Each structure stands twice: as C-alpha cells, then as structure tokens.
Amino acid sequence: MSVAQLTSFFKTRGFSQRELVVLSGGHSAGFAHCNKFMDRIYGRIDPTMDTGYARGLRGTCPQRNLDPTVVANLDTTTSTTFDNVFYQNLQSKKGLLRSDQVLYTDPNTKKVVDSFASNNTAFLIEFAAVMDKLSAFKVKTGSQGEIRKNCGVIN
C-alpha cells in the first residue's frame, strides 16, 4: 500500500496520518510470516530495502520449500524491547513490511519517522495516547459484544 492508501484507510477510521505513523511503531515488537514480504526479497530486491538485509532474509525464508511456521522479526535490532529503534530501522531501509518502509518514502511521514527515531520518549508518550484512542474504536457494548474466555472462540 502507498502512504496515500494507508492514510485514507486510517482517516476513514478517525485517525490522522501522524497517528498512522505512531501506531506503525507497534511493529517494534512482533514478527511476520515469510509470505508477507517474499515479494520484496526475491526477483529484483525492493529498492526501498537494504540489499544486505534482504539477502539475510533469504536465508530465513528460502524461496523453495517455504515453511509456514517460519517468521522474521519486524524489528531486527531490538525485537524484545518496545522502543523507537523500529523507526531507526526504517531510516536504514530495514523495514520488513512494505507498508512500514513506505512511511520513509513520503516527505510528510518521513518527518514523523525521523522525529521518533531520535526521541524514544516522544514516541512512547504518543504511542500510549494513540493506543488509548484505538482502544475505544468500535467497541461493542451490552448484548452486541462479549468478553471471551478464548479470543479465537465465540462463547
């Protein structure tokens, strides 16, 4: 997706472009299955991705005999710490997902990425505020919703 498409998607849900970049920082933790980024590392390597990084990912995710249980960390540097290094990775062309790396190709979102890359405290404060806003998005109440005992199974 392009920044324009991502922005439109978030805007229809009441979130600004800045909030899109803030929420993308949630990718400081977690992982992605190989099939979500294979098109960036095989054939012609995506020009927005660091070549060495792409080659390393090829070792994790071979083109043939792809194991659906194999994953790669979204944050290659501090995958077990929730911090702003995710944004520093985007500056270094090491965003695993295209939808993340594209944030560093648009002049408006690039400014926000640069700001958070240099200020972990600002990122954490804004992330908390936007997560609070997200937690209130389309909440089902009363008989329209339920608190599940198992998230993947309707009670």
Residue whose pair of structure tokens reads 């998230």 in the numeric block: 151
SS3 54: helix
Instruction: For residue 62, give Cα distances in angstroms to 26, 55, 67, 80, 96.
Output: 27, 10, 9, 24, 16
Instruction: Indicate the annotated binding residues for Ca(2+).
Output: 75, 78, 83
Span 3-144 CATH architecture: Orthogonal Bundle (1.10)
Q: Which residues are annotated as a binding site?
A: 27, 75, 78, 83
Say what the pLDDT of residue 140 is.
Answer: 67
Q: Are 85 and 28 in contact (CB under 8 A)?
A: yes
SS3 for 151?
Answer: coil
Across 94-120, average pLDDT:
97
Q: How far apart are CA 144 and CA 57, in angstroms?
A: 43
Binding residues for heme b: 27
Task: State percent of the chain over pLDDT 90.
Answer: 69
List residues bridging with 71 in a β-sheet.
33
pTM: 0.86
pLDDT tens per residue, range 111-143: 999 999 999 999 999 999 998 888 766 666 667
